[in-house]
Amino acid sequence: MRDDNFLKENNARHLWHPMGHPGEAQEHTPRIIKGAQGVHITDIDGHNAVDAVGGLWCVNLGYSNDVVKDAIAKQLYDLPYYSAFAGTTNPTAIEASWAVREFFADDGMERVFFTSGGSDSVETCLRLARQYHRLRGEPTRTKFLSLKKGYHGTHFGGASVNGNNRFRTAYEPLLPGVFHLPSPYTYRNPFHETDPAKLAQMIAQAMEDEIAFQGASTIAAFIMEPIQGAGGVIVPDPSFMGLMRDICDRHGILLISDEVITGFGRTGDWSGARHWGVQPDMMSTAKGITSGYFPVGAALMSGKVAEVFEHSDAEGAIFHGYTYSAHPVGAAAVTATLAETQRLDLKTIAAARGAQLYDGVLKLAETHGIIGDVRGGHGLMTGVEIVSDRAAKTPMDMATMKRIHQATYEAGAMVRLGMHNILMSPPLTITEAEVSTILTALDAGFRAA
C-alpha cells in the first residue's frame, strides 16, 4: 500500500465516483476511509466516527464479523471462481441458494437468481416479469408502474422505474411504458394530505385510474420499496403495501418488492414486505445479503412465478445473467452472512435501536427549528428533512447541509445527505451507547447550522 501522501495527492485524480461530479471531487477531495472496527470508521487523518450510514445501507453486521471474513477467505482458496451459466455450478452456490430460500420462505419465495448487486437484481425482476407474462400467453403485458421518490438502482430498467429525476434526466430517453404514481410521502404530496391512511387510499385510487387508462392487459409489474430509502426514508401507512397487493392481484399485475435496503432485518423484520404483512411475487435484494463484504444481490421468485418458468416450453429459458451470478466467493459470503444475521437476531436489535434513534431525533426536533420532518420508527432507517423555514417547509440550501454534515462528522458520527435530508442506516449490531453518540453528534451538527 502506498503512503498517505500518495493517497492524498492522487485522491479522485483517476477515480470517477458514483453519484458525484468528477471535477468537484478533484477540487474538494473525498474523505479517505482507511479502516473500520465494529460500527466505527477511521479516516486517513485518524478521526474516528460511528458509521450511521452502515457503509451504504449495507454493513448490517458491522465491520468486524470474522465468521463472514473467514468464509470468504477460505472460499478464495477452495474455488475463487467458476461460472454458473447453464451447465455448471459450484458447492457454495447450491448452499447459498438453499439458505436464501429458507430465509425468505415465509415471504413465499421459492427460487433464487444471484446477481452482482441491487441494480442487477431489479433489472432481473423487471426482465423476468415480462418473460413471465409472455410465457403465460399475455405478451402485451410489458409496462411497469412504480412510485415517485422510489430508488431502484441505475441500470436502464431501474432508472426508468426510478421516481427521482436526478437519476433520470441526463440518461433519457429511458424505457418507454413506465408510469409513476405519487409517493406515500405525507410531508409533501400533490393531495396536501397529511393523514397517512387517507393518503394511502388516494394513491390506491390513482393506481386504479392509471391501470384503467393504460389497460391492465398492458402492465407487467408494479415495483415498490416497502419503505422508500434513498428518497428520504418515506414510511407508508401500514395499509399501503396491502392495498397495492390487492390491486395487483385484481389486475393480474406482478408485485415486485424492492428489498435491497429493507431486506435482512433493517426494518425490524426479515423483509420489508413481511413487516407490512404482504407476500410479493418477486423480491430484489442485495446489500445486507453479504453485509457489504462482497458484491452480491439476488432476485427471488415466488412459487407462482417459478411454476410458469419451470413448466414452460423452450421459451422459458432465462437468457439473462451475469458472469458473477452465483460467484462461489460471494455465495460463501451469503451463507455465512445469513447465518450470522439470524444468530445475532439483527431484526430485534434493529427494532429496538431504531426506536431509540427515531425517538432521539424527534426530541432534537423540539429544540432545532430546522428539522422539518422526522421519518422512521420501523427499524434502523431514519430520515430527517431539514428546512430553512418550518412553516413554509422550504428545503435547506446545500451549503448549510454540508456544514451540518461536516460538524456531525467532527462530533463523532458519519451521516448521509440525500439532498436536504439526513439519512441514517447504521449497522444493525449497534449498541445503545453508540446510538446515543449519533444523537449527540447530530445535535452538534444542527447547532453548527
Ligand X SMILES: Cc1ncc(COP(=O)(O)O)c(C=O)c1O
For residue 152, count other CB atoms closer than 10 A to its CB.
32
Helix crossing, 240-251 with 196-214: angle to 10°? Answer: 20
Could you please report the per-residue DSSP string of 50-98?
EETTHHHHT-TT-S--HHHHHHHHHHHHH-S----STT---HHHHHHHH
Burial of 231 (C-beta count, 10 Å sphere; 0-12/13-18/19+): buried
Of 134 and 287, the one with the shorter C-beta distance to ligand X is 287
Can residue 235 be called a binding residue for ligand X (CB under 6 A)?
no
Of 57 and 63, the one with the shorter C-beta distance to ligand X is 57
Helix crossing, 66-78 with 328-343: angle to 10°? Answer: 160
For residue 345, count other CB atoms closer than 10 A to its CB.
12
Residues that contact ligand X, how many (by CB under 6 A) = 14
116-175 residues in contact with ligand X (CB under 6 A) are 117-119, 122, 151-153
To ligand X, the closest distance from the beta carbon of 121 in angstroms equals 7
Can residue 230 be called a binding residue for ligand X (CB under 6 A)?
yes
The pattern of x and - marking residues 419 through 438 that bind ligand X according to CB under 6 A reads --------------------
Of 19 and 399, the one with the shorter C-beta distance to ligand X is 19
Q: Which residues fall within 8 angstroms of residue 135, CB to CB, at 6 or more apart? A: 308, 309, 312, 315, 316
Phi and psi at residue 51, in whole multiples of 5°?
A: -85, 90
Residue type, 191: F
Segment interacting with ligand X, rule: CB under 6 A, options 26-34, 79-87, 159-167, 254-262? 254-262
Q: Using CA atoms, how far apart are residues 210 and 62, in angstroms rounded to an integer?
A: 43
Can residue 261 be called a binding residue for ligand X (CB under 6 A)?
yes
Please identify which residue in 258, 269, 281, 443 interacts with ligand X, judged by CB under 6 A. Answer: 258
Q: Using CA atoms, how far apart are residues 368 and 331, in angstroms rounded to an integer?
A: 46
Segment interacting with ligand X, rule: CB under 6 A, options 136-144, 182-190, 255-263, 311-319? 255-263
Give the residue from 425, 90, 142, 155 showing the smallest Cα distance to 299. 155
Of 65 and 284, the one with the shorter C-beta distance to ligand X is 284
- Secondary element (H or E) of residue 25: helix 22-27
Please identify which residue in 55, 182, 184, 229 interacts with ligand X, judged by CB under 6 A. Answer: 229
To ligand X, the closest distance from the beta carbon of 212 in angstroms equals 28
Give the residue closest to ligand X by C-beta: 118
Can residue 301 be called a binding residue for ligand X (CB under 6 A)?
no
208-227 residues in contact with ligand X (CB under 6 A) are 225
Can residue 286 be called a binding residue for ligand X (CB under 6 A)?
yes
Can residue 75 be called a binding residue for ligand X (CB under 6 A)?
no
Of 261 and 414, the one with the shorter C-beta distance to ligand X is 261
Judged by the rule CB under 6 A, the positions of this chain that interact with ligand X are 117-119, 122, 151-153, 225, 229-230, 258, 260-261, 286
